[in-house]
Chain A
Amino acid sequence: MTTKIEIKSLYKIFGPDAAAMMEKVRSGTTKEQLNDEFNHVLGLNNINLEIPDQGIQVVMGLSGSGKSTLIRHINRLIEPTSGEVWIDGVNVLAMSDAELRDFRRQRASMVFQKFALLPHRTVLENTQYGLEIQGLAEKEAKKRARHWIERVGLAGYEENYPGQLSGGMQQRVGLARALATDADILLMDEAFSALDPLIRTDMQNILLDLQSELHKTIVFITHDLEEALRIGDRIAILRDGRVIQQGTPQQIVLKPKDDYIADFTKDINRGRVIRLKTIMKSDNGQQGPELSGDMLVEDAAQLVTDSPSSHARVMDGEGRCVGVVNITDLIRAMARPDIESRIEDL
Chain B
Amino acid sequence: MEFFTEFPALGRRDLRDLRLAIDQSFKGFSREYGEQIEALFDPLLQFLIGFERLLQATPWPIFILVVCGLAWLASRSIRIVIGTAVSFYLIGLFGMWEDTMSTVSMIAVSTILCLSVGLPIGVLMSRSDRAQSIVTPILDVMQTIPSFVYLIPVVMLLGIGKVPGLIAVVIYAIPPIIRLTNLGIRLVDSEVLEAADAFGANPWQRLTQVQIPLALPNIFAGVNQKSNHHDVARDGRDRIDDWCQWIGTTGPESGLQPVSCNGFVKWDGDRCTRHHF
Interface residue ranges, A against B (CB under 8 Å) = 75, 77, 100-106, 108-110, 112-114, 116-120, 129-130, 132-134, 177, 181, 187
Contacts and interface: CB of A to CB of B under 8 A. Distances in A.
B191 A77 contact: no
B196 to A, nearest CB: 8
Interface string B180-206: 000000000101101101111110010
A104 B191 contact: no
Contacts of A104: 197-200
B214 A77 contact: no
Contacts of B201: 101, 133
Given A119-B214, A133-B205, A181 B191 contact: no
Contacts of A106: 200
A110 B195 contact: yes
A61 B116 CA distance: 49
A114 B194 CA distance: 11
Given A114-B191, A116-B192, A118-B192, A109 B213 contact: no
A265 to B, nearest CB: 31
Interface string B86-129: 00000000000000000000000000000000000000000000
Nearest to A120: B213
B210 interface: yes
Given A75-B198, A133-B201, A181-B199, 13 more contacts: A77-B194, A101-B201, A102-B200, A110-B195, A110-B198, A110-B199, A112-B195, A114-B191, A116-B192, A129-B199, A129-B209, A133-B205, A177-B199
Given A116-B189, A120-B213, A120-B214, A133 B195 contact: no
B266 to A, nearest CB: 28
Contacts of B199: 104-105, 109-110, 129-130, 133, 177, 181
A85 to B, nearest CB: 15
A132 B201 CA distance: 9
Ranked nearest first, the 10 interchain pairs of A and B with the lowest CB-CB distance are A105-B200, A104-B200, A116-B195, A110-B198, A101-B200, A116-B191, A130-B199, A120-B213, A116-B192, A133-B201
A167 to B, nearest CB: 14
Interface of B: 189, 191-192, 194-195, 197-202, 205, 209-210, 213-214, 216
B63 to A, nearest CB: 31
A187 B202 CA distance: 20
Contact of A112 (B194, B202, B210, B214): B194
Contacts of B191: 112-114, 116
Contacts of B216: 120
A106 B198 CA distance: 11
Nearest to B193: A116
A207 B194 CA distance: 23
Contacts of A77: 194, 197-198
A133 B197 CA distance: 10
Contacts of A132: 209
Contacts of B192: 116-118
Contacts of A181: 199
Contacts of B198: 75, 77, 104, 108-110, 187
A116 B200 contact: no
29 contacts: A75-B198, A77-B197, A77-B198, A101-B200, A101-B201, A104-B200, A105-B199, A106-B200, A110-B199, A112-B191, A113-B191, A116-B189, A116-B191, A116-B194, A116-B195, A117-B192, A118-B210, A118-B213, A119-B214, A129-B199, A129-B209, A130-B199, A132-B209, A133-B200, A133-B201, A133-B205, A134-B200, A177-B199, A181-B199
Contacts of A116: 189, 191-192, 194-195
Nearest to A97: B202
Nearest to A109: B199
A108 B198 CA distance: 8
Contacts of B189: 116
Nearest to A106: B200
A78 to B, nearest CB: 10
A66 B198 CA distance: 19
B202 A101 contact: yes
A102 B198 CA distance: 11
A95 to B, nearest CB: 12
A119 B213 CA distance: 9
A130 B210 CA distance: 13
Contacts of A187: 198
A129 B194 CA distance: 14
Contacts of A130: 199-200
Nearest to A110: B198
Contacts of B213: 118, 120
Nearest to A134: B200
B169 to A, nearest CB: 30
A170 to B, nearest CB: 12
